[in-house]
Amino acid sequence: MDSVFIGSGPSGLGERGFVRPGCRTFAPGSSSLKYVVSAVALATLSLAPMSYAAEDTAADRASATVKQMTAEEKTILTHGIMPLPIFPHSPKAPADAIPGAGYVAGIPRLDIPALKETDAGLGVTYLFGARGDGATALPSALAQASSWNPALVREGGAMIGGEARAKGFNVLLAGGVNLMRDPRNGRTFEYFSEDPLLSGVLAGNSIVGIQSNNIISTIKHFAINGQETGRKVVNSKLADAAARESDLLAFQLGIEIGNPGSVMCSYNLVNGEPGCASEYLLQKVLKDDWRYKGFVMSDWGAVPGVEAAFKGLDQQSAAEFDKGLFLAKPLADAAAKDPAIAARLDDMNKRILWSIYANRLDSDPSKPGGKIDFAKNAKVAEEIAKQGIVLLRNSRDVLPLAKTARRIAIIGGYASVGVPSGGGSSQVQGEGGAVASIPRPVDGPFAALAGLNFHRSSPMNAIKSLAPQTTVTFRDGTEIRDAVESAKKADVAIIFATKWSTEGYDQADLSLPAGQDELIAAVAAANPNTIVVLETGNPVLMPWLDKTAAVLQAWYPGARGGEAIASVLFGDTNPSGRLPITFPAAESQLPRAVIDGFFEYEPDFFGLVPEARANGLTADYDIEGSDVGYRWNKRSGQKALFPFGFGLSYTTFANENLKVRGLDATLTVRNTGPRSGATVAQLYLVSRDGKPKQRLVGFQRVELAAGSSTGVKLKIDPRLLADWNGNGWTIAEGDYGFAYGDSAETLGPVVTVKMRARSWKD
């Protein structure tokens, strides 16, 4: 099987390639042996990114094609439309367009295909039901990340990429990798984690899977895109070094592993510059320092003017969302007058063409009407949901449930019909559409995307199927007394608690809405065997926690979420999920009391709120700098409600014999309990020269039979030990302390290693 590699010597960092087992690979132009990322289990699927030779051939072809282009043709690939009648001024969709997120015309004379774009990273999205043939919904990115399983995430990417291709699309707007600087962010469910290593590795693998179908994936939203309310006006303030060691490192790892054909820039400003016109982000960091070969596309309605092209933007997406069609005639006119701009325009085309050729969009085109095995794809979604469910509490070992229980009371969460999904451009409609939909008070063409939708996967029906001899009752939870009476008559009460999240709108707090906290407390008081299943897109507070018997975090579990939840409840699946995000004990633990501008701005549903960039709204991320999530808690001496990396099992595990030699670490993981199961070996940097400093530096999911053990080998990326020095990376000479962890707050003995000083550039 093919394996993905990341260069790990000073001269090999930032380069990528692939080999077959048993081969030794060296970074081009470097004598540094490239290290297999076995620490994160990248080599378990035969889906590899393209070789260097294929990339070089694509670059040569792109250059040759640009030389054949006329002046008029050079601004065809640089802008697109949304092929849907969104606005009165929406352009007519071309005959070959597919209803979806975007369309960029091709150039038939030069055999350049049109780009046909669809959202998103959780499955193929059809905007407000434009197509009715359905798609398979993956669990939320948070659920995927809770598996800590790059190979499984890659398989999910391959699945949704295959469905996109079968429907005729050749660009999937996926690869969300923004770090979770605030758990109240409305798009938290679309992103992977608060940690740059975990996020970058998982996003990169998702992209590899998607692009294995010979389509383009993006990586988004570049960068430091930490909130939704006021997202088009907020200025994300973060110093260069802190950004390079956190948010940008996640993108860098994702790009190195996944080699996405496109980077999508962001709505927000970054240190005063619009994200889609940031010379710092798009030119200096992405293209100069990281030597990225693909193209930068804008988010929908994020282009301030033609100057964005001079700062590094290559393509204006859905130009009707902007104030003008900037990357067409205005760009052509500027190029005709200025040789430097003409050269920039050639570069824009080369980058777009490189991505087209490297991903074989021209030689292996996607066509509508491809066959989709929905049953097979649903099994992929179900397995991700199973591995992504996190067991947070299991008092008195109430779980797993016996299938012989006499009576189970199910309460709340629309559990009788389905499982919830997040809102916005990532909203997937399965076969037959949503089984239930709760409208939201939103006006405009995207109102249909703003509702709370439920996938057709009923937890109640799945529970009945696994325990056919058990009497199962359901109450919707709207009347607490009714729910309490139902719980009193049951052996077990299972409450499904939900909280909806969406693009365009953040959350005011981390509480469960609509009286659910009171409902849970009342039911738990009535029945000591009360189990709470959380279906949320963000962490939530749990004032009722100590009164419950068990808590499962199921996130938004996708097309087969009900079946996955039931499987875990009854022990057919031993829970193995681990949190990819910190659950705060209180909102006061967060770096900011409220999300900046939350109470001053209307929700920005999908970019339709008028821009007002010069209004002074700033999100000061310099408060925490690179210390996001668990690192902030470490720095501020706080304990989480549930820490990053936490998760329980129906068996027990022990970590032993940690050894660290340079950038290599080994440890032994042992299953000490009565069942087979899986855990995640987590390795943390915990100190540097005696000073506390916490970073996740390695991880690997491990499956073990009862009583068995295995050795784990982890390779540490030196950037995780280093500081950004303004022009590259520096590891200071000194003593570095490492510890394995069951979570970021439950750590084993510290092993100290002496590191020599070294500096290098990407």
Please choose, from the candidates 384, 402, 391, the residue with its C-alpha nearest in 3D space to the C-alpha of residue 651.
391
Please choose, from the candidates 204, 296, 294, 307, the residue with its C-alpha nearest in 3D space to the C-alpha of residue 250.
204
Q: Which pLDDT score, from 0 to 100, does residue 452 have?
A: 87
Largest CA distance in the chain: 81
Query: Contact at 8 Å (CB) between 326 and 319?
Result: yes
| Residues in the chain with pLDDT values less than 50 | 1-46, 128-130, 609-610, 612-614
Query: Contact at 8 Å (CB) between 26 and 14?
Result: no
Residue 392: both structure tokens together: 């947070």
CATH architecture of 651-760: Sandwich (2.60)
Residue 443: both structure tokens together: 């006006």
Please choose, from the candidates 222, 203, 201, 197, the residue with its C-alpha nearest in 3D space to the C-alpha of residue 631.
197
> Taking the domains of the chain in order of start, what are their residue ranges?
1-52, 53-358, 384-569, 651-760
Q: Which pLDDT score, from 0 to 100, does residue 437 have?
A: 85
Tell me the DSSP string of 604-669: -GGG-SPP-GGG--EEETTTTTT--THHHHHHHT---SB-TT--B-SS-EEEEEEEEETTEEEEEE
Residue 61: both structure tokens together: 């072809």
CA dihedral sign of residues 113, 118, 121, 125: negative
Distances (CA, A) of 72 to 325, 331, 354: 15, 11, 20
592-651: pLDDT as tens digits:
988 887 777 766 665 554 454 446 689 999 999 999 999 999 999 999 999 999 999 999
Query: Contact at 8 Å (CB) between 249 and 290?
Result: no
Respond yes or no on whether the N-terminal peptide bond of residue 221 is cis (omega within 30° of 0): yes
Q: Which pLDDT score, from 0 to 100, does residue 13 have?
A: 30
Q: CA 528: distance to chain centroid?
A: 37
Query: Contact at 8 Å (CB) between 83 and 318?
Result: no
Q: CA 623: distance to chain centroid?
A: 24
| Beta pairing class for 216-222 and 171-172 | parallel
Cβ count within 10 A of residue 424: 24
Q: Partners of 666 in the beta sheet?
A: 659, 713
448-497: pLDDT as tens digits:
566 789 999 999 999 999 999 999 999 999 999 999 999 999 999 999 99
Please choose, from the candidates 595, 602, 424, 606, the residue with its C-alpha nearest in 3D space to the C-alpha of residue 510.
595
729-745: pLDDT as tens digits:
999 999 999 999 999 99
Angle at which helices 329-337 and 339-358 pack, to 10 degrees? Answer: 130
Its CATH class, for the domain covering 384-569, is: alpha beta
Q: Which pLDDT score, from 0 to 100, does residue 36 have?
A: 32
Q: Is 200 exposed, middle or buried (0-12, 13-18, 19+ CB in 10 A)?
A: buried
Using DSSP's 3-state secondary structure scheme, residue 543 falls into coil
Q: Is 340 exposed, middle or buried (0-12, 13-18, 19+ CB in 10 A)?
A: exposed
Helices vs strands, H then E, count in the chain: 15, 32
Query: Is 53-358 a domain of CATH 3.20.20.300?
Result: yes
Q: In what order do the strands lie in the sheet with 653-661?
A: 653-661, 664-671, 709-715
0.85 exceeded by the pTM? Answer: yes
